[in-house]
A = this chain, B = another copy of it.
Amino acid sequence: MTIYYKDAYINETSVTAGPFLIDGPLKEKFDNVYTDFYDKEKTFEDCEVNELVKTINTLLRKGNYNNRDISLLISADLSNQIVISNLAANKLGITYFGIYNACASFCESIILASSLLYNRDDKVICTTSAHNLTSERQFKAPVEYGMPKPEYSTFTASAATACIVSHKKEGVRIESGTIGKVIDLGVKDAFDMGSAMSPAAAYTLNKHLKDTNRDISYYDLILTGDLGLYGKKIFKEFCLKEYGLKINNYNDAACLIYNNKDSRVCAGGSGPSCLPTYVFCEIIPKMKKKKIKRVLLLATGALFSTTSVNQKKSIPCICHAVSLEAI
């Protein structure tokens, strides 16, 4: 399903970044940073909630809004029952919808926000949140185990991101969105999300190009969210073999946010904030200067839980696409 928007824009953006990100190539570009996983709070979860609230308050300040000016907050994170988003929404007092498509949630939120702009002055905030240690201990193993990881695993990006979507012609234009379907080729290794998610990304890319009748060269850049160093290669190969798509104008946000010489980040970033962190810090500023004009975002998500992995299910994956244009 591809939806076209006449006048939806991403206006202001805001990013708060934590450990590892703040040592990476984007280090000068964050609105807020925190240097340890507690940031003066008692729990990782409290830390994550507060970084998300701080990110939204920074966004409001940058846009010169207060929370009563906002029609709706759409938020996603990796915690069970997206409780980080729930607790942040509670502190902010903004009308709220929670969503969840794992790391594909950013594109889901942009598509929903663009579809929910009913009045001329509606403003919708889309947020994502992740914290490496809240998600590590929830999805994998208690942090204290110090469990070694395979080199193809990815390292959840500790960041909160927020943007305002509105009819106001400012920032970058949201031109269209393609909603993906669940693709599951049988990968069962929860560390190997790059392999699991690549076919979903290729499916949605091909669907978007077919629906819009566009050639891959239409875009200056195709950007996946968090396939990682290995998934990126698999994605390119899969696009060629399965759909005959040869993509050169391509990169993956997971490979661009860390200092890749640090072996602790393994194959790169992951999590729902990985893609918007890179997009808000690098892509939108370039689009505003018209250095790049058309970008297709492919946010990929691995839709598993610890229960489904423990019950030996394979990992169903999804990808949603959003097409951005410079104005």
Contact = CB atoms under 8 A, between A and B. Distances in A.
Most buried by B among A45, A78, A83: A83
A72 B101 CA distance: 14
A201 to B, nearest CB: 15
A318 interface: yes
Interface stretch (A20-28, A177-185, A223-231, A249-257): A177-185
A-B pairs, top 10 by smallest CB distance, nearest first, are A86-B303, A81-B305, A90-B316, A83-B305, A90-B182, A80-B305, A80-B80, A89-B182, A98-B100, A95-B179
A277 B266 CA distance: 47
A64 interface: no
B99 A43 contact: no
Nearest to A67: B181
Contacts of A86: 182, 303-304, 308, 316
8 contacts: A3-B116, A80-B305, A83-B307, A89-B318, A90-B182, A95-B181, A97-B112, A112-B116
Nearest to A318: B96
Interface residues of A, number: 50
A62 interface: no
Given A80-B307, A90-B316, A182 B96 contact: yes
A87 B308 contact: yes
Interface string A79-107: 11111001101100111111111100000
B96 A99 contact: no
Contact of A316 (B72, B89, B122, B305): B89
The quantity of this chain's copies bound in the complex is 2
B43 A311 contact: yes
Contacts of A93: 181-182
A80 B305 CA distance: 6
Given A3-B116, A86-B303, A96-B179, 11 more contacts: A1-B95, A3-B118, A46-B311, A80-B80, A80-B305, A87-B313, A90-B316, A97-B179, A98-B303, A99-B100, A115-B118
A110 to B, nearest CB: 12
A67 to B, nearest CB: 10
Contacts of A12: none
A71 B93 CA distance: 33
Nearest to A5: B118
A187 to B, nearest CB: 13
A133 to B, nearest CB: 13
B83 A81 contact: no
Contact of A45 (B3, B308, B316): B308
A306 interface: yes
A108 interface: yes
Interface in A113-135: 115-116, 118, 122
B305 A79 contact: yes
B179 A72 contact: yes
